Structure 1
């Protein structure tokens, strides 16, 4: 089962047994009665802080009847953003443990904290931090007298009420006001139901008829035995409330969809007399046709159980339509993974990129290497190295924390593979290397020490790090020891073992592995530079630099992958080479691997690298477009502090995803920004396999947070991956393009608000998608309200109270005076954020 934790793990002692740890601990404050608060602070007027700096403070209150002593304890916490190691305040010192784990310790001037007392620790973040999801998390206290015992502290975060650049025109970090939201929403209007596009993603061709097919009962399904999965899906589309007999004929078949070469093409015909026919070029095409039929079905509980007469001929634009889920940073259960596979299938996505390993967790059972899961899949406090991984992302001291610890057993993974295959989704596992590999590195080092102490001659067989390495580097997540060493033959033995076992799992599931994603991103500068093993390897193989060593490493990795009948995929760094131009760092296409058949997932389109994906494609690499500024769903929607997510790359609103044009990434950029950037050649266009959205889960500790971050942005991803370029994307006349865009956007958001999301509310899908705040604006003596998704129910109050599911519905201008508060509600009464405006 998912989230397996080894039975040998013993729970940390509870605070009530502190006395059992000895008199030195029993006479001091119980950590559970120490209250910690973290506050983001606004920069004082007139004080110029360093670029991106953010003032913050911890406030610690002792609510116990015993003191927090002057020495002999540490307060641990983790954070996404690096805090200033060495900072001191009120006798306390901030120290960096490793990566994002820090601790506050008493310095020589600390006098202790008596019962009832409060102290502050003020410091300055190195980056701009104003979103609660980026705050330090998971604090716990450890007494030196009980070094294996970590006790969580009651903890609150006090956010800023607005971002730090509220008045700065043009800044992406400026506040988004209800007025801003109103005018952004005003680009779309409410459409009558008859004008709402009937299917998302938009089909290639749709021809409507004049009549309707009445659903008098459940359909009679006719299909071959080879379409058993599709037959089951077809049956699930029709409500059980319909009579068992008397329904229309529903015929499913694999045949030929005229004019369409894609194996995923389908033709759907609904006729009032003959019933429903779905023909696909393959079973996948039939399944896609059924998902379109789902879209056309009346909403659960609708008074008119009928379907419109129509014919749809449809095929995807891209053969690769992907979604990546990171389960390494914060673990997600098998059930959550299956839920997202269902949602992917619903919107015709077909590639599930499974980010199984990273610095903070290894999440897949590998036969023969139990340490990968007994150590690499477990996070929690330990005084001894090599027992488990350190806490991260708020997982705290307890190794039973479900987000910090857990992995998929072989049985779990087989079930996931078969579940995906039944929905025509390819699972592409990712094994991160050579960077982002701390979980594996630590697990294999622990294995080495255990076997060596037992006298084994084979202790170093899978060792991944050079124990004499003195390289000085810092990874993107602030680790100094997270890299697989390419100068050790044992590194390649480990990779061979893991690749072989992954391939065997896929064969056992009946879905042979076509490609494995071998990582490659964010190798820290300086890694390997002072490793005796790497230096010896370079001399042995005539390599001049670390860049050459990188090439050697991936030549070996690619040979291993090919040996098992697969091709190699990885992040863009696999296809790029670091060099320098005029003294500055530059990434260029690496000529060494253009003939190896690599697929590069290109995420970096930040300033200066906007055209990197096109340069790689033009040079001969197959690529998947997954740009951080458009397709990273862990990015917050905007800069308002109440929004969840990160913002290191961009802010990604629903329309940010919708407006992405795969073959013209910089379409909406000013001319000056486009100058000197490579465009995609016709040859390069043929190398673009498709597009993918990524969800890195640093801030997503529970399934509801995943729902919020991914939906409904996933539908915009599906639209761009499946449908052809809309006319507004290729029209040269900017005024005409603006009109076309407004029409298409209006249709898309009306389909979401009136049909797609209400269906998720009513059909038991259990998706806590983001309900955006409404827009508000004063118009004379009235308040106008709107929503990004026309059709969402808006409710309001005028007495300053919070709107509820029983509050008045916004049906036009709000004429009451006072503090007007408005919120959107889904069909189950779930409320989104409240927007407020004063109506004098």
Structure 2
């Protein structure tokens, strides 16, 4: 018996769009005008390149393992790849072992995750039609294909500014035992179709009539006994201040009822701002449906908007009725558990358009999420136009090859040599950003812009250095006004992204001039848009050890301010930044490191709450719940910091679903399945830790008051196409929405393990059935364009028959046994499959889109 999960070709095509971090890389754009191939040597366009994971290797000195890999270069040109005078560039996201390679080649780091391979003395060249194997080593295990090189291109020494993209590049499958071997590393094994089947048995198929009617779960729902029949759209009665909500109401009924105008004297949909009894949240609402019509009252316009989203859930799925619709008579009183229900989108690593942002703002509103954390700046890209600092976007928002410094940023995450690459290069104009703010505000979503500092700032650092050199050459005395780096800094450090030149220097007054200018411009844009701005997220994460230690400017400031260590200098820096924000009536938000201080405990590094800022109203976004820091969020809250829970092992949407190599995403934090998110208990998440955590702090009653809410976080290192966002975020974002809006389910509060397990099964069954039978089908039938991940079915061979199930009970499964892949016309799985041979099964959405294919042999 053989079992494995493989991708259907349509899903493979989606993965190809990620720029080489999945199975293959889409063709890169052509080189800039005037940059053609050299005559007489092989061109990048006629080089075929394949990457192969050869085997995993384990030794006593490296029990965690390393990976032997190979680049297979085939010269399809009529000209040779010469013996000397060329370099093959690519991005290795997590780095690679540098140094001499077999065959007289050398692998070198250029900067960050950009590396190159070039020939040394004795290399023979690659004649036309010949193949070259380039063997090298990853110092750690390659489990996810995101670690493979991405965005390869060729540069000849004779034309150092010309980067020739290698479009014909693919990653070969990782399926052999020596490729999948994990040794004694402790890494999780590949997930089989049988594993998936067992996991899926934790839920039951429920009839549609038994499903909760509104998502996320409301605070209170009292069902009536009758129905409200609507033969035409109801007359909408709303005050002028609810114009946006009235427009949404009309839109809701457009898909279900012919727009022939409301019947005179017919049912009404009444929208009002009033008082929701017993609920103080401004987002609370009541929704009442009786025989006369529908009434929604909110404590604010936001509450009315959320009431309309609940009304959407009560409408039949599009196309379900041709003779009007029936709405259940009921009474809902609802309010969110947390005031902060967030989604973070990173557009720094890879850029995504304004239209993509609009799409996700619409989805956030639909599922009652209210905070859009906009990660606008990174080492690899500055994505917001700032008046007075054109280099931030002319240089800091552009990636591509250049032999000269200060022209543009280097390629990263597979963006390749072309500065026109749509994901490597791009930014939002001032007008774009104001459009986004207004779009979000109309949907009751607050945009929280993030400007990373002092680390993760390479784009800004390089842009301001280029500005300095330009103005200095022109004789401008203010050339250094916004300079961010000390040219005499000899500090030695390396960031997790392998940079050693990406940190804003706190010893330069020009650094604070720059930050103040950026803050002022962002405040002005929010004011012009009429959009709320209460905070700016000012980064703070992953400042590498050693930064600033050997900077004359920083050491001088430390002497002047009587600062003993660079940890004190950190405090000084954020004290200044906090003052700038307060000048505009804002408070400071940042990653957890901004609210923490590094110290030592028994010789090991430990983060403790920083006592300096506990009364500053800092808001800390806590991502680190990994080994040793599992209780950091609770310790910060107990110390008085307002926190947003964004734990990497639960809420990071860029984490891969499972360890299978071809499954997209990264795995440096953990693997995050749908039930991983669903099972998160925000105020007692260590309750479900396995194995149990000993000696960790729990939340005090005081600390609970400082938990603002939850955030789903998406970093985009592996996301070059917007469809990949859909795949990684949905449907996991729905579990985040449920946890952020609804109270703890009964199973989370039950002390008895057996009772808790039974309650969990009931609640989980309700959740996944609602997703599979109502929430996701509505997205399909409303043609929202959300290409959410359709998980592979689970398969089990039992008594000569194949059993199939799915994480979303009720979704349509189709199968084949003739060697072809399942399609929308294949046979539907209605029970055990008795066919013999290789059985291939896939789930399908309401539009006939197939998910991942599972395969099992029934001999």
| TM-score interval, smaller chain | over 0.9
Classify the secondary structure of the residue corresponding to 2:77: coil
Question: Which deviations, in whole Å up to 9, do the C-alpha atoms of 1:483-542 show, x marking residues without a partner?
Answer: 000000000000000000000100011124210000000000000011111111111111
2:163 corresponds to: 150
How far 1:44 sits from its partner (Å)?
6.0
* Structural mapping, 1:789-804, within 5 Å: 789-804=808-823
Classify the secondary structure of the residue corresponding to 2:447: strand
How far 1:199 sits from its partner (Å)?
1.1
1:185 to 180, 189, 200: 200
Cα distance in structure 2, aligned partners of 1:506 and 1:345: 20
How far 1:768 sits from its partner (Å)?
0.4
2:500 corresponds to: 480
TM-score by length of 2: 0.94
How far 1:168 sits from its partner (Å)?
7.5
Classify the secondary structure of the residue corresponding to 1:666: helix
Matching of residue 140 in structure 1 with residue 174 in structure 2: no
Matching of residue 208 in structure 1 with residue 208 in structure 2: no
Do 1:421 and 1:511's aligned partners in 2 also have CA atoms closer than 8 Å? Answer: yes
Which runs of no fewer than 5 residues in structure 1 stay unpaired?
Answer: 1-9, 19-24
Matching of residue 115 in structure 1 with residue 164 in structure 2: no
Cα distance in structure 1, aligned partners of 2:599 and 2:61: 36
1:787 to 799, 806, 831: 806
1:441 corresponds to: 461
2:108 to 89, 92, 95: 95
How far 1:642 sits from its partner (Å)?
2.1
* Structural mapping, 1:218-237, within 5 Å: 218-237=233-252
Do 1:87 and 1:123's aligned partners in 2 also have CA atoms closer than 8 Å? Answer: no
1:642 to 634, 645, 662: 662
Do 1:637 and 1:643's aligned partners in 2 also have CA atoms closer than 8 Å? Answer: yes
Do 2:791 and 2:843's aligned partners in 1 also have CA atoms closer than 8 Å? Answer: yes
Cα distance in structure 2, aligned partners of 1:683 and 1:306: 47
1:160 to 170, 174, 178: 174
Do 1:622 and 1:687's aligned partners in 2 also have CA atoms closer than 8 Å? Answer: yes
Cα distance in structure 1, aligned partners of 2:276 and 2:785: 35
TM-score by length of 1: 0.96
Cα distance in structure 2, aligned partners of 1:132 and 1:203: 41
1:5 corresponds to: none
Cα distance in structure 2, aligned partners of 1:603 and 1:447: 34
Do 2:415 and 2:423's aligned partners in 1 also have CA atoms closer than 8 Å? Answer: yes
Cα distance in structure 1, aligned partners of 2:357 and 2:200: 33
Cα distance in structure 2, aligned partners of 1:52 and 1:625: 33
Do 1:38 and 1:157's aligned partners in 2 also have CA atoms closer than 8 Å? Answer: yes
2:12 corresponds to: none
Classify the secondary structure of the residue corresponding to 2:686: coil
2:262 to 233, 242, 245: 245
How far 1:200 sits from its partner (Å)?
1.1
1:763 to 771, 779, 782: 782
Matching of residue 413 in structure 1 with residue 433 in structure 2: yes
Corresponding residue pairs, total: 823
Cα distance in structure 2, aligned partners of 1:582 and 1:130: 33
Matching of residue 66 in structure 1 with residue 66 in structure 2: no
Cα distance in structure 1, aligned partners of 2:254 and 2:520: 45
Classify the secondary structure of the residue corresponding to 1:42: strand
Classify the secondary structure of the residue corresponding to 1:640: coil
Cα distance in structure 1, aligned partners of 2:402 and 2:245: 50
Cα distance in structure 2, aligned partners of 1:562 and 1:457: 30
1:517 corresponds to: 537
Cα distance in structure 2, aligned partners of 1:319 and 1:723: 11
Do 1:362 and 1:440's aligned partners in 2 also have CA atoms closer than 8 Å? Answer: yes
How far 1:161 sits from its partner (Å)?
2.1
* Structural mapping, 1:420-819, within 5 Å: 420-670=440-690, 673-819=692-838
How far 1:707 sits from its partner (Å)?
0.3
Do 1:267 and 1:313's aligned partners in 2 also have CA atoms closer than 8 Å? Answer: yes
Cα gap change, 1:344/1:107 in structure 2, threshold over 3 Å: closer, same or farther?
A: same
Which runs of no fewer than 5 residues in structure 2 stay unpaired?
Answer: 1-28
Cα distance in structure 2, aligned partners of 1:585 and 1:46: 28
2:5 corresponds to: none
Do 1:469 and 1:532's aligned partners in 2 also have CA atoms closer than 8 Å? Answer: yes
How far 1:11 sits from its partner (Å)?
7.7
How far 1:13 sits from its partner (Å)?
4.4
How far 1:665 sits from its partner (Å)?
1.7
Question: Which deviations, in whole Å up to 9, do the C-alpha atoms of 1:617-675 show, x marking residues without a partner?
Answer: 0011010000000000000000012210000000000000000001112111246x421
